């Protein structure tokens, strides 16, 4: 007789389309196919601390495939640094205790880069952990793509499509800020698909004068409007040099005090970078003589109904995850590999960010059609 397992599921980090589809896939495969019990953990890792759970039976899983966000709620809380009554505390042992109290045989964590690191910490504490990659930034490594990216890419591309008409009608520069703090996949993909004239991403520091020259060159050829797609984390060459220097000091620091000082410097630089897109638009207006307008897409990229591709991806990853649990495979992330899936050790994934390679085919193709990257 097969053992009836009891597994927990949580979503952590930012929300995105496809989370409910993944919860559904894990739940239905576990409940319907294997006859297991599934417990939903509310509000990410905090739910394990506060013992906030819900039973995911057939009725709870019905009708959620097309719904955006997550029925379980989410948070950015980290087990080892969780804010409790205004004080930052390590709640890892509490989570371990409640995992055992719930009599869980495994815990499925759906999340991005931070979630992979938190999941690894819990796995090292002896919990049976398995993760699914989720992020609209597409920066989780060792997987072809992550849950939510395809939908966000479609939303961002449609937004750029719509901005073309107003830019053309008013002879303006329209600067569209897209998400992507440390990786430019979203801005790059939407920029290429939406026909942006300039694409600025974190991986390629830009010179605003070169961007302005590209826009003026279009004007000289009779095109008095331009679309600039910029990732929120895109930096000028000067900014990038300051960040690189601060990172080097942090890596070279020999004492805790030196590391803290370097971290504080990085925080300060991050704060200074806030509002960069508005400053960029003002600079371009001065340098080109063309009126500029800024559109910040923000959280609209996270919301809405998941695309067909994200629903398919969620179903593939979720069902593969349950199969791995059945086989006793833990401390892995379920990665997308072509039409298949592959378990990748969390030790390999945690702490690594997938950035856009400078020779990526999207960049190569964009350069060939005259897209400016500001370098």
Residues 166-199: pLDDT tens digits?
877 767 899 999 999 899 999 999 999 999 999 9
**In a shared domain, residues 252 and 267:** yes
Q: What is the pLDDT of residue 166?
A: 80
Q: What is the pLDDT of residue 1?
A: 44
CA separation for the pair 154, 156 (Å, rounded): 6
pTM given for the model: 0.92
pLDDT band at 243 (very low <50, low <70, confident <90, very high): confident
Residue 275: partners with Cβ closer than 8 Å, 6 or more residues away: none
Read off the pLDDT of each residue in 69-95 and give the average, rounded to a whole number: 92
Asked, for residue 361, whether it belongs to a domain, the answer is no
For 25-41, how does the pLDDT look when each residue is reduced to its tens digit (9 = 90+)?
Answer: 999 999 999 999 999 99
Buried b (16+ CB within 10 A) or exposed e, 98-119: bbeebebbbbbbbbbbbbbbbb
Q: What are phi and psi of 134, to 5 degrees?
A: -140, 125
For 102-144, how does the pLDDT look when each residue is reduced to its tens digit (9 = 90+)?
Answer: 999 999 999 999 999 999 999 999 999 999 999 999 999 999 9
Q: Three-class SS of residue 112?
A: coil
Q: What is the pLDDT of residue 2?
A: 63
CATH code at 70? 3.40.50.450
Structure-block tokens of residue 11:
């979503």
Residue numbers of the domain that contains 57: 6-147+306-349
Res 318 pLDDT > 70: yes
**In a shared domain, residues 182 and 290:** yes
Residue 4 burial class via C-beta count within 10 angstroms: exposed 0-12, middle 13-18, buried 19 and up: exposed
Residue 265 burial class via C-beta count within 10 angstroms: exposed 0-12, middle 13-18, buried 19 and up: middle
Output the average pLDDT for the chain: 93
**In a shared domain, residues 109 and 124:** yes
Q: What is the pLDDT of residue 279?
A: 93
**In a shared domain, residues 254 and 187:** yes
Q: How many domains does the chain have?
A: 2
- In what order do the strands lie in the sheet containing 129-133? 53-55, 37-41, 6-11, 106-111, 129-133, 332-337, 340-345
DSSP state of 356: P
**In a shared domain, residues 107 and 60:** yes
Read off the pLDDT of each residue in 259-280 and give the average, rounded to a whole number: 87
For 44-73, how does the pLDDT look when each residue is reduced to its tens digit (9 = 90+)?
Answer: 999 999 999 999 999 999 999 999 999 999
Read off the pLDDT of each residue in 194-206 and give the average, rounded to a whole number: 96
**In a shared domain, residues 196 and 213:** yes
**In a shared domain, residues 206 and 319:** no
pLDDT band at 282 (very low <50, low <70, confident <90, very high): very high
**In a shared domain, residues 66 and 193:** no
Provide the CB-side half-sphere exposure for 72 (13 A, CA): 40
Asked, for residue 372, whether it belongs to a domain, the answer is no
Report the percentage of the chain scoring pLDDT > 90. 79
- Closest by CA to 33, choosing from 325, 311, 312, 333, is 325
Asked, for residue 370, whether it belongs to a domain, the answer is no
CATH code at 257? 3.40.50.460
Asked, for residue 160, whether it belongs to a domain, the answer is yes
Catalytic residue among 15, 77, 137, 139: 137
Asked, for residue 364, whether it belongs to a domain, the answer is no
**In a shared domain, residues 81 and 140:** yes
**In a shared domain, residues 211 and 253:** yes
339 is catalytic: no
Asked, for residue 356, whether it belongs to a domain, the answer is no
Structure-block tokens of residue 143:
């997987």
- Check residues 275 and 12 and name the one with the higher pLDDT: 12
Helix or strand (DSSP H, E) at 132: strand 129-133
Asked, for residue 296, whether it belongs to a domain, the answer is yes
Asked, for residue 75, whether it belongs to a domain, the answer is yes
**In a shared domain, residues 22 and 119:** yes
**In a shared domain, residues 294 and 316:** no
Q: What is the pLDDT of residue 270?
A: 86
């Amino acid at each position: 007789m097969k053992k009836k397992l009891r597994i927990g599921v949580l979503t952590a980090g930012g929300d995105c389309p496809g989370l409910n589809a993944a919860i559904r896939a894990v739940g239905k495969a576990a409940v319907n196919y294997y006859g297991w019990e599934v417990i939903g953990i509310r509000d990410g890792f905090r739910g394990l601390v506060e013992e906030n759970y819900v039973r995911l039976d057939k009725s709870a899983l019905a009708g959620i495939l097309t719904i955006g966000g997550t029925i379980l709620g989410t948070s950015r809380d980290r087990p080892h640094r969780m804010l409790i009554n205004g004080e930052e505390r390590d709640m890892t042992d509490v989570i371990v205790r409640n995992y055992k109290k719930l009599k869980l045989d495994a815990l499925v964590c759906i999340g991005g880069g931070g979630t992979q690191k938190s999941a690894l910490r819990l796995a090292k504490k002896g919990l049976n952990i398995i993760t699914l990659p989720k992020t609209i930034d597409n920066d989780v490594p060792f997987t072809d793509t992550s849950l939510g990216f395809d939908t966000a890419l479609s939303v961002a591309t449609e937004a750029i499509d719509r901005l073309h008409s107003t830019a053309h009608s008013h002879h303006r520069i329209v600067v569209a800020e897209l998400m992507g703090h440390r990786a430019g996949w979203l801005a790059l993909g939407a920029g290429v698909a939406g026909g942006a004239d300039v694409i600025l991403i974190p991986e390629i520091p830009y010179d605003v004068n070169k961007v302005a020259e590209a826009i003026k060159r279009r004007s000289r050829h009779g095109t008095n409007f331009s679309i600039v797609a910029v990732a929120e984390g895109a930096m000028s060459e000067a900014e990038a040099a300051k960040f690189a220097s601060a990172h080097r000091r942090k890596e070279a620091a020999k004492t805790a005090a030196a590391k803290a000082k370097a971290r504080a410097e990085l925080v300060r630089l991050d704060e200074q970078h806030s509002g960069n897109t508005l400053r960029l638009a003002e600079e371009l207006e001065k340098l080109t003589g063309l009126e500029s307008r800024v559109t910040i897409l923000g959280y609209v990229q996270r919301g809405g109904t998941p695309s067909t591709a994200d629903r398919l991806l969620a179903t593939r990853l979720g069902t593969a995850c349950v199969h791995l649990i059945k086989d006793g495979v833990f401390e892995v992330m379920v990665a997308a590999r072509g039409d298949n899936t592959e378990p990748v050790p969390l030790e390999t994934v945690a702490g690594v960010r997938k950035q856009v390679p400078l020779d990526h085919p999207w960049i190569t193709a964009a350069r060939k059609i005259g897209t400016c990257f500001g370098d």
